[in-house]
Amino acid sequence: MSSPARDADEPKSLTFAWTLAVILIVAFVLGLLFFPPMYETPKTDAADTVLFIGRFHPILLHLPIGALGLLCLLEVICLRAKGEAKYGDAALLTLIVGSFGSVLAVMAGIMLSREGGYAGGNFSLHQTMGIIGTAGVLLALVVRITAMGRGSSELLGAYRALYFISFAAMGLGAHFGGNMSHGSKFLTEFAPEPLKSQMISMEKWMLSFVEEPKEEAPAPAPAPVAAEKLVFADLIQPIFAAKCNSCHGEEKQKGELRLDTYEFTMQGGENSGDKNIVPGKPAESVSMQFILLPEDDDDHMPPEGKDQLTKEESALIQWWIEQGASNTQKVDLAALPAELKATAEALLK
Ligand code: HEC
């Protein structure tokens, strides 16, 4: 990369652009070092300032969408030499604004994730593609300034390819972010039929990259024989720990509810009280009711966009309540409904 000093013969605007590009790249790299992206709920609570800035993510992200979207149009115009001569500077400025917005949005997004409760495939893809897309746009910025400095149309072509790929990565990342806040079916729900199934299978394909290893992953504690294991401690609690306790555990008690011990679970929360789990009666148990609500219902648990229970996990909780919601019942794989065996075995591992 050429430094501002070496490019002293370049027009003033490029020296200025170099300065901004270097500042943005340094800010992005330092930001990622200070706030490395995490894919699980952080162990320690973040400072309020960090969480405060994080809440601006949903606002800030509109800046890069607007600027980089406009840039797509400008770059199409700039494909012709005449267009580049006329709008090249405008494209460069728009690219700088878009890069600035992307860096801000990524950093605020990572800070937002420090609230905890963000996990799952949509989140992983959103975070990863957002960061990769931003890195790509910053690199594209460097290439564009270099190309303009040398007056090289080949380099400009390479820049455009890089830019459009990065923009696409970011757009896909944004889509998975949309899934997090609006629910996974938001975009596809009203799509016309042939398109709909293609969109859904494309999405599934992408999610499969980040979701597959997760299912095999949770495996603490060496497993003796299943017979000595307890239904609550070894099957139900790990599910709560993975999907609920970022908000209902030792650190945070949303709705004054804790699910990290048997006693707390049965004690219930602010409104649920001893109805949180009603032994033998899943339909009357508030936690079960909330789990079974449609994902877009305000009371649905885990809240929309957070890492959701699988069908089997929720069936396992339901089965435990039906069996009397005991703290001492031993795991008897043979007595489990057939469709729950695989899930139970995975949890016991
Ligand atoms: C991302 C955070 C988050 C996660 C994860 C989460 N919840 Fe909640 N939960 C909340 C919030 C927020 C409330 C509502 C607090 C309020 O409105 O007073 C709540 C309330 C509840 C309540 C009502 C408590 C009461 O007595 O008022 C129940 C029951 C509940 N959650 C069960 C669950 C279960 C079961 C899971 C896991 C399957 C879960 N939650 C996962 C955030 C979360």
The DSSP annotation for 168-231 comes to HHHHHHHHHHHHHHH-TTTTTTT--HHHHHHHHHHHHHHHHHHHHHHHH----S----GGG-BI
248 Cα: distance to centroid of ligand 1 (angstroms): 7
Rg (C-alpha) for the chain, rounded Å, is: 25
The pLDDT assigned to 313 comes to 94
The pLDDT assigned to 188 comes to 86
Q: Could you tell me if the CB of 287 is within 6 A of ligand 1?
A: yes
How crowded is residue 7: how many other Cβ atoms within 10 Å of its Cβ? 17
Which one-letter DSSP state was computed for residue 280? T
Q: Which residue has its alpha carbon closest to ligand 1 atom 37?
A: 244
Q: Which residue has its alpha carbon closest to ligand 1 atom 16?
A: 255
Mutate to test the pocket of ligand 1, among 247, 270, 272 (most ligand atoms within 8 A of CB): 247
* Sequence-distant (≥ 6) Cβ neighbours of residue 171 within 8 angstroms: 133
292 Cα: distance to centroid of ligand 1 (angstroms): 13
Residue among 148, 181, 217 nearest 296 (CA): 181
Residue among 98, 29, 23, 101 nearest 68 (CA): 98
Q: Which residue has its alpha carbon closest to ligand 1 atom 32?
A: 287
255 Cα: distance to centroid of ligand 1 (angstroms): 6
CATH number 1.10.286 is the correct assignment for the domain at 12-182: no
The pLDDT assigned to 214 comes to 46
Positions in the chain short of pLDDT 70: 1-12, 212-227
Which one-letter DSSP state was computed for residue 45? P
Listed in order, the ranges of the chain carrying CATH 1.20.1420 are 12-182
Buried b / exposed e along 248-272 (16+ C-beta atoms within 10 A)? bbeebbbbebbbbbbebbebbbeeb
Q: Is the peptide bond before 302 cis (omega within 30 degrees of 0)?
A: yes
Q: Could you tell me if the CB of 276 is within 6 A of ligand 1?
A: yes
The pLDDT assigned to 12 comes to 64
Mutate to test the pocket of ligand 1, among 248, 271, 275 (most ligand atoms within 8 A of CB): 248
Please, are residues 188 and 200 in contact by the beta-carbon 8 Å criterion?
Answer: yes
